[in-house]
Chains A and B, each alone.
Chain A
Amino acid sequence: MNRHLLSAADLTHDDAVLVLDTARELAAVSGRAVKKLPTLRGRTVVNLFFEDSTRTRISFEAAAKRLSADVINFSAKGSSVSKGESLKDTALTLQAMGADAVVIRHSASGAPHRLAHSGWISAAVVNAGDGTHEHPTQALLDAYTMREHLADGAGDLAGRRVTIVGDVLHSRVARSNVLLLHTLGAHVTLVAPPTLLPVGVATWPCEVSYDLDAPLPASDALMMLRVQRERMDAAFFPSEREYARRYGLDARRAALLPEHAIVMHPGPMNRGMEITAEVADGPRSVIVEQVTNGVSIRMAVLYLLLGGAEPA
């Protein structure tokens, strides 16, 4: 593995399977009475969050603590960033405090890359979501969840069909998932209105469709993306009702899926918009499981980056 995890494309097939296998062993720790391993004792993990997040920050914090690392949480609100401190000066502060890993979320695409390659810090950098670019640990936990349900929790996802629906344009989850799922051998179909597809999507290793009903009968996993209204500065679709009608997942559409198919959502959900409450809480939904698996995946990533003299 590379020294940093900045993009899902950094992971080779073997790296990705190693992360998933490691996460599977570490998942057992969460079920024990003593939910702790001594592995990263004395190491410092900084959660550097320039953007709001609930589950990702908590998930990284729980993962680091279960490996006995010291965790420093840094959020832009209430820090010197709101006084105008630059990313560089924040990084130099972290370096001076001896951070071994920095988990960064930033609204600017490429901020983690800048942090990792600027020479400001010597810590390993983990991208926890940068702008509309990437969110590799989300893709890993999604792949883990799919592998548990569709491949008996072993190997890769060769030949599985995954359909990702919704606001691909603003979604870092979609990009990371397409890259990682392709690495793991799955076929990905993106479904979105033309206005919510990024420029250059034709070069991604996936298919693109404007119609949701068509790919459903052949899908093993269906991932609904959140409509990111906070990033929308223009009208991308006529009305929420029309979006929900054409690209939302309701019980009728869910019934078109094969018997074994699972329904996923990276959260937070807009219930009634991209997914109805009935489907989100239904038997095919693995949305809560995704959150649980997130802790195991992040433990695996932190262990593989920090556990040895060099990354695995």
Chain B
Amino acid sequence: MATRVLDEADISRALSRIAHEILEREKGAEHLVLMGIPSRGVPLARRIAERIATIEPGADVPVGALDITMYRDDLRLKPARALEPTVVPPEGIDGRTVVLVDDVLFSGRSVRAALDALSELGRPRAVRLAVLVDRGHREFPIRADHVGKNVPTSLREQVRVRVAELDGLDEVVIGEDA
């Protein structure tokens, strides 16, 4: 039994709010870089950058991708995985505020790996975290700066984010076999 907790319109509104929050907190779009964590964080980061461009005319926020596979702490628990692309915008990340964008925040281990991966690409002025869904159950002292929706879950449940760019539709569903 899977329940849809966010539909296309909900996701759209959440991303718009996150774009506003980022601009408010950073006092503009200057020196911002959005880095999506593959696979679904990357299209979400692109959409947030598009929203920022419509809110602040002339703002062109660079968007990149940050693959964390090689930095995961559970690599040896599973078979070796295929890598996803890492794309650093030509402007680089040194001295900029990097907003990491991911679909779901769960244990915090992916974010920990992302922070390690980021530190080898350069030295950002600050790193923020934006997620579409925070499902709780943190195992690390990590929290998100910008959250689309807090979704209380049990550990047995799965949270599945689908985005139109990769899955053909926008939705967030939750269930034991979502």
Q: Spell out A's residues near B (CB within 8 Å).
A: 18, 21-22, 25-26, 28, 32-34, 36-39, 303-312
Contacts and interface: CB of A to CB of B under 8 A. Distances in A.
A25 B85 contact: yes
B83 A308 contact: no
A25 B75 contact: no
Interface string B67-104: 10011000111111111111000000000000000000
A34 B120 contact: yes
Contact of A311 (B79, B82, B120): B79
Contacts of B120: 32, 34, 36-37
B55 interface: no
B177 interface: no
B116 interface: yes
Q: Which of B76, B77, B80, B120 has the largest count of A CB atoms less than 10 A from its CB?
A: B80
Interface of B: 67, 70-71, 75-86, 116, 120-122
A39 B71 CA distance: 6
B75 A308 contact: yes
A312 B80 contact: yes
Contact of B86 (A25, A34, A36, A308): A25
Contacts of A309: 76-79
B75 A26 contact: no
Contacts of B67: 25
27 contacts: A21-B82, A21-B83, A22-B83, A25-B83, A25-B84, A33-B122, A34-B121, A36-B120, A37-B70, A37-B120, A38-B70, A39-B70, A39-B75, A303-B70, A305-B80, A306-B80, A307-B70, A307-B75, A307-B80, A308-B75, A308-B76, A308-B78, A308-B81, A309-B76, A309-B78, A310-B80, A312-B80
The 6 closest A-B pairs by CB, nearest first: A308-B80, A312-B80, A25-B83, A307-B80, A34-B120, A308-B79
Nearest to A23: B83
Given A25-B86, A28-B86, A312 B79 contact: yes
A305 B80 CA distance: 7
Contacts of A312: 79-82
Contacts of A32: 120-121
Nearest to A25: B83
Given A28-B86, A308-B75, A38 B80 contact: no
Contacts of B78: 308-309
A307 B81 CA distance: 8
Contacts of A311: 79-80
Contacts of B79: 308-312
Nearest to A312: B80
Nearest to A42: B76
B124 to A, nearest CB: 14
A308 B82 CA distance: 11
B177 to A, nearest CB: 24
Nearest to A300: B83
Nearest to B87: A28
A28 B67 CA distance: 12
Nearest to B84: A25
Nearest to A37: B70
Contacts of B77: 309
Nearest to A310: B79
A191 to B, nearest CB: 36
Contact of B71 (A38, A304, A305, A306): A38
Contacts of A28: 86
B116 A38 contact: yes
A304 B80 contact: yes
Q: Which of B70, B75, B79 has the most CB of A within 10 A?
A: B70
A31 to B, nearest CB: 10
A311 B120 CA distance: 26
A124 to B, nearest CB: 11
A33 B85 CA distance: 18
Nearest to B72: A39
Contacts of A39: 70-71, 75
A33 B123 CA distance: 12
A304 B85 CA distance: 16
A22 B83 CA distance: 6
B83 A26 contact: yes
A106 B100 CA distance: 48
Given A21-B82, A37-B71, A307-B76, 8 more contacts: A28-B86, A32-B121, A37-B70, A38-B70, A39-B71, A304-B80, A307-B75, A312-B79
A156 to B, nearest CB: 16
